[in-house]
Chains A and B, each alone.
Chain A
Amino acid sequence: MKRNSTTSKIITVGVLLIIALAPLLATSEYMVHIGTLILLWAFVSTAWAYMARFGLVSLGHGVFLGIGAYIPVMLFNYYGVSPWLGMLAGVGAAVLVAAILGYSCFRFGLIGDYFALVTLAMAEVVSLAIVACREVTGGSLGCTLKASVGWASFQFDDKRYFYYIIFVFLLLALYIWRLIDKSRMRLALTAIEESELAASSMGVSIIRFKMGITLLSAGLTAMGGVLYAQYITYINPGTISGVGVSLSTCFKAILGGMFNIFGPLAGSAIMVSLEEYFRISFDTGFLGVSEIIFGVVLLVMIIFLPKGIVGSVSEWLNKRFGVARS
């Protein structure tokens, strides 16, 4: 990652400043809401890209989103457990599940698209399990978080609270990305991606490093699930677990460019805005038309911009101006 450090620092600070100041300039609650969604999905897909950029493409992050969203809500609704404890329980459970699933995948040497398909199936298992436990979870009808406003119950009337809380989490995720970049872990995982055999013969513990990045990614993703549930206050297995959300998480990262630290953020901004734009401009009269266009846009982008938007743009800049960029 050789970067022209001053330009990249200016861009970084500029982007973060814009995000930080945006709610002050926003003219409506609705715009803050869209901004919050963008930051939330940016947080989740950044966490997803931790793994994906080292070749561990998971199509099953809905597992962790679902666990993170459902456990705190269930605990709060049924037992009145504080969401702050529920958060720990949700993230803890997701990390535990990630440890079990990850270890079994890595132990049996699942890589590449086999890993992708197995994780996809895991996402569907969790989603079906939530539906199957319908007495507790409300099944496919979903369930609503009991309303109770305030810091103690981690729900707020003003949307800007969540905007900034999620922004802080996104900053954390970006910061961890930088830490990973500077760490031995990055070297080890890159070596493992190149050749597991060569890496292990150099004494790199494959399972340990893969587990490390998986647990980190799963924990943050589950936190994204917690934040989603607290913010939206309604969860449903179709929207927060299962194949749909797993795929849309990686769509976002891939569209933006999963090898670039700002790729997932850019991808989320584009995807969420596109979704909203199409949803509004086609109204209910053409239910589905917006999704068709959305799917076609996705297809076209996957075919013509395989490196993602940030990746393609920086490549173009590189060619055009000869700037040393990642």
Chain B
Amino acid sequence: MLEELLMAFINGILLGGVLALLAFGLNLIFGVVKIIHMAYGQFVMLGFYFIYYFHTAWHMPLLVAMAGGIVVMGLLGMLVQLLIINPLLNAPRLNQLLALASLIIVLENLAQVLWGADYRGIPISMPIIQFGDIFIRSSYLLAFLGAIATLGILYLFLHKTYFGLAIRSVAQDVEIAKGMGINPKVIYYITLAAGGALTGVVAAFFIPIYTVHPHFGASFTLMAFVIVVFGGMGNLMGGFISAFIIGVVTSITAVLTSTEVADILALVLFILMMMVRPQGILGAKA
């Protein structure tokens, strides 16, 4: 039992890294465009399918297929900005939420029409690493390391480049950013492209771990939400830390009870956090 719990803990940490990446994208979009991307998990699902398709139908080498998937998801992100978010920038929050929620319907059924309802995956066998009684799947470890590396690159992008600076300034204050000669529309496109590409990256790390089906994304949207709120909406550091907390808590609960109970627990944490501490674990009292 103890080994099982320890393994659940380690898996929670490792998966937490990937979830951190996912939450980062959602958080970035929320922070910059001030929009809640309801269909974010569905983007991961699409990314997964694209990589699968490029690899199996077009016989691309896996890494090329992954790169292709990332690029396509980035473009799709911009398309969402162009077709849905731009026309709704000044609409009530609720309409933005619902528009992106109806995007969920479109994307899930699109996947079903294009690829069918069956589970699809690219079979890759990756070794299992053993430390004494503890077994770690190297696919999890790879995803974790990759996610951390990607987060590092994102950090550098946000803090060391002109576009990163522009993105952060739009996140802080759109009006002042405009005064500094930044066109927020361009920044929105870049943000959505980055957010879309991130879902492609997450999908690439998921390839050796999961198989995909049209409703694959829903639980990840939910997870990303929970993490973002737990860490404080728009607070990137908070999201990073809470990804590991949520990852470990759900992973251990799933081992002790069932995955539904783990999801319920995550959602209850989300609800309580929204009520009692909407600024998140790290946020200052507003």
Q: Which residues of A contact B (CB under 8 A)?
A: 57, 59, 104-105, 108, 110, 112-114, 116-118, 121-122, 124-125, 128-129, 131-132, 243, 247, 250-251, 254, 286-289, 291-292, 294-296, 298-299, 302-303, 306
Contact = CB atoms under 8 A, between A and B. Distances in A.
Given A294-B105, A295-B106, A124 B98 contact: no
A59 B271 CA distance: 13
Given A299-B106, A303-B88, A128 B274 contact: no
Given A128-B264, A302-B102, A114 B110 contact: no
Contacts of A57: 94
B95 A128 contact: no
Contacts of B132: none
Main secondary structure of the interface of B (DSSP, over half): helix
Interface string B184-197: 00000000000000
A116 B94 contact: yes
Measured as residues with beta carbon below 8 angstroms from the partner, the interface class of chain B is 35 or more
B161 interface: no
A121 B267 contact: yes
Given A124-B222, A132-B264, A112 B106 contact: no
B105 A295 contact: yes
A292 B274 CA distance: 33
Given A113-B97, A250-B98, A287-B112, A105 B267 contact: no
Contacts of B91: 303, 306
Interface stretch (B8-16, B62-70, B141-149, B255-263): B255-263
Most buried by B among A110, A112, A288: A288
The 10 closest A-B pairs by CB, nearest first: A295-B105, A295-B106, A132-B260, A288-B109, A288-B112, A291-B109, A298-B102, A108-B275, A288-B113, A113-B93
B84 A299 contact: yes
B127 interface: no
B97 A299 contact: no
24 contacts: A104-B275, A108-B276, A110-B274, A112-B93, A114-B274, A118-B270, A124-B222, A124-B263, A124-B267, A132-B264, A247-B98, A286-B113, A288-B109, A291-B105, A291-B108, A295-B103, A298-B98, A298-B105, A299-B84, A299-B102, A302-B95, A303-B95, A303-B99, A306-B92
A287 B275 CA distance: 41
Interface of B: 36, 84, 87-88, 91-95, 97-99, 101-106, 108-110, 112-113, 117, 214, 218, 222, 225, 229, 258, 260-261, 263-264, 267-268, 270-271, 274-276, 278
Contact of B103 (A112, A299, A306): A299
Nearest to A59: B97
Contacts of B275: 104-105, 108, 110, 118
Contacts of A254: 94-95, 98
Contacts of B106: 291-292, 295-296, 299
A128 B264 CA distance: 7
B109 A295 contact: yes
